[in-house]
Amino acid sequence: MKPVIAIVPSAGSGRRFGEGKTLLDLKGMPVIARTLSALQAVEEIVEIIPVMRNDEMEKTLEIVEQYGFTKVRKIAPGGKERQESVFHGLGLIERKGCIVLVHDGVRPLVTPGIIRKAIAALEDLDGVVTAVAVKDTIKEVRDGLIKKTLARETLFAVQTPQVFPYNVLMEAYTNALSSGMHFTDDAAMVEHRGGRVKVIEGEYTNIKITTREDLDVADAFLRNRS
């Protein structure tokens, strides 16, 4: 198998918290440390590139040293948006024939098992995403009125990790940035160019830390694990 390099976009503003979400404490460890720990444990991953805000670079380096994250050898500066941040991470990859795994820094409950599963599923495809079936009924709403009820059995909430061949993802990013297009996740860029992206079952516990309530939920999940 080709070497896998993980890019970890973590440069969000954290406006809801008043500080960067990735440095918040989650049951005795910074959020970013829990995320990096899961990636460090996956043998297929040879390098991890966190993408951080400039004012969090020094603290991130301290965390890397404290927890012994030997696969982190460089940190990319964040961009104005996630799309630009991931592109900065791609720019630091030296092994152009590698597989790229993108995982949000604020998904600290990801397990090494789901990471390995996503990597193994890539095979000859253009991408793999993890996702969970939507539990609630989803409705399309405009101006406060329901326009359509969507078929729940066809809807999935997409998560990270997402996995791609380096050349496929780099071409998709280069095209998106040069044309001024904006996408909500990496797979959408690859889909836009006609790529074949597979969906595999994710984990409901692999939540994204966006609000303080999410932090409480993550803490509860961790207590159940232990």
CATH of the domain at 91: 3.90.550.10
Q: How confident is the model at residue 1 (pLDDT cuts 50, 70, 90)?
A: confident
Q: Structural domain tally of the chain?
A: 1
Tens of pLDDT along 123-170? 999 999 999 999 999 999 999 999 999 999 999 999 999 999 999 999
The H or E element containing residue 161 is: strand 156-165
Residue with the bigger pLDDT between 11 and 102: it is 102
Domain range for 106? 4-225
Tens of pLDDT along 79-101? 999 999 999 999 999 999 999 99
Region 165-190: mean pLDDT is: 95
- This prediction has a pTM of 0.95
Tokens of 30: 């910074």
* Model pLDDT, residue 15: 57
Amino acid at 147: K
* Model pLDDT, residue 17: 59
- Is the Cα dihedral 103, 105, 106, 107 positive or negative? positive
Arithmetic mean of pLDDT over the chain = 95
Cα–Cα dist 194/100, whole Å: 18
* Model pLDDT, residue 20: 78
